[in-house]
Structure 1
Amino acid sequence: MNVQNYFENAETMDLAKDMLGHTFTYNSNQGEFSGIIVETEAYLGPIDMASHSYNGRHTKANDPLYQAGGTIYIYSIHSWLDMDISIQKAGTPNGILIRALQPLKGIEKMEINRNKTGFDVTNGPAKWMAAFGIKNKDLSGTMLNKNNFSFSTKKVQAPKSILATPRIGVKNKEPWTSKNMRFIVEGNPYVSKLAKRDMNLETYGWL
């Protein structure tokens, strides 16, 4: 799979769902970190009041959103770092936020980086970034599968059920606050803000 084709030739909302079950990997100076994507949020560029490119806003910082599909966009929210993937062809600044990962490789180092164990290590967008040891925006603007970050060509797990919910932290931006643009693997315990009663600890929500 050509990653650029993948991120440029489908609807952003469809891609946000399809990314669930693919692996995301970071080759760092600490070694290799990887996890399965279990939660995403779609952002629809200039029309989306919650998007960093709403109304065509274009700055040096958010420029990666305007680049080819598959470009990494790292940004800070309340002193924490989050990561979007640029979606659609260059010039159309849509993005998909990777909100949570189920760890695969490097788990012991993730636990040290986060000073946490269990599901709390990677069950949120800033949490998995910290677990992977990403401390700055130096790699913002780099391309998936060409540099430090890679995205698996195929799913390694298939979700049994995908739930669509409103995005988290999007306040006072109606009608965009209420739109179901967050996608989760139903029951996966690494999904952010998931109540214990909703966790499927047998299959983690995979087929």
Structure 2
Amino acid sequence: MQKYFETAETMDLAQDMLGHTFSYKSDQGLFAGLIVETEAYLGPIDMASHSYNGRHTPANDPLYQSGGTIYIYSIHSWLDMDISIQKTGTPNGILIRALQPLEGIEQMEINRNRTGFEITNGPAKWMAAFGIKDKSLSGTKLNENNFNFSTKKVQTPKNILATPRIGVKNKEPWTSKNMRFIVEGNPYVSKLPKRDMNLETYGWL
């Protein structure tokens, strides 16, 4: 698994991760979903990255670890999750922004007090749906502990759209770069207008 996250360009991986499953074994049971939205962060050169200019703290240390390390952090009291990309010492990351639920849906609805597409259509939303309430698993490895990433695609996007990242303000040229990738038409993509939702195929082939 580590090789997957270390042997391709970060921008390419952010697109390739779409259609893989991401799952979490928790005290509440198994949660799983298809990745439908990601954002790439290019480390020290990227003004929107937590490791911009080589910033390295105990909190963001997982970004500096081997590819496939979990990095959990808080934004305005919400939790988000990145996966570290590239070899140890190169602090690139990919934010998992949204998931299409597959397993544990009833418990997700309870955890979020929501139903339908609102359960997991955003980075903090799916984390809350999965019952992740703190950063205790930050620094753990994918496919070794609680979190698993499927080695193969479970679904193939019909079309991938590239857009600017969300919430990256006043950081040009990085604000405008198309570094967010979505499965076109998938209703679980964050901030997707109803008119753009494909409710027949959810954007998969």
State the TM bucket, normalised to the shorter chain: over 0.9
Q: CA offset at residue 197 of structure 1?
A: 0.1
Q: CA offset at residue 60 of structure 1?
A: 0.2
Percent identity (aligned): 87
Q: CA offset at residue 115 of structure 1?
A: 0.1
Correspondence for 2:76? 78
Correspondence 1:189 to 2:177: no
* Offset from partner CA, 1:55-91 (integer Å, 9 cap, x none): 0000000000000000000000000000000000000
Correspondence for 1:36? 34
Unpaired runs of at least 5, structure 2: none
Question: Residue 2 of structure 2: SS of its match in structure 1?
Answer: helix
Correspondence for 1:178? 176
Question: Residue 113 of structure 1: SS of its match in structure 2?
Answer: helix
Correspondence for 2:104? 106
Question: Pairwise mapping of residues 114-193 of structure 1 onto structure 2 (< 5 A)?
Answer: 114-193=112-191
Q: CA offset at residue 97 of structure 1?
A: 0.0
TM-score using structure 2 length: 1.00
Q: Which residue type is aligned with residue 197 of structure 1? A: R
TM-score using structure 1 length: 0.99
Correspondence for 2:49? 51
- RMSD over aligned Cα atoms: 0.2
Q: Which residue type is aligned with residue 173 of structure 1? A: K
Q: CA offset at residue 163 of structure 1?
A: 0.0
Correspondence for 2:3? 5
Q: CA offset at residue 133 of structure 1?
A: 0.1
Correspondence for 2:198? 200
Please list every run of at least 4 consecutive aligned residues from structure 1 whose deviation after the TM superposition is greater than 2 angstroms: none
Distance 2:2 2:155 in 1: 22
Q: Which residue type is aligned with residue 116 of structure 1? A: R
Q: CA offset at residue 109 of structure 1?
A: 0.1
Q: Which residue type is aligned with residue 144 of structure 1? A: L
Correspondence for 1:91? 89
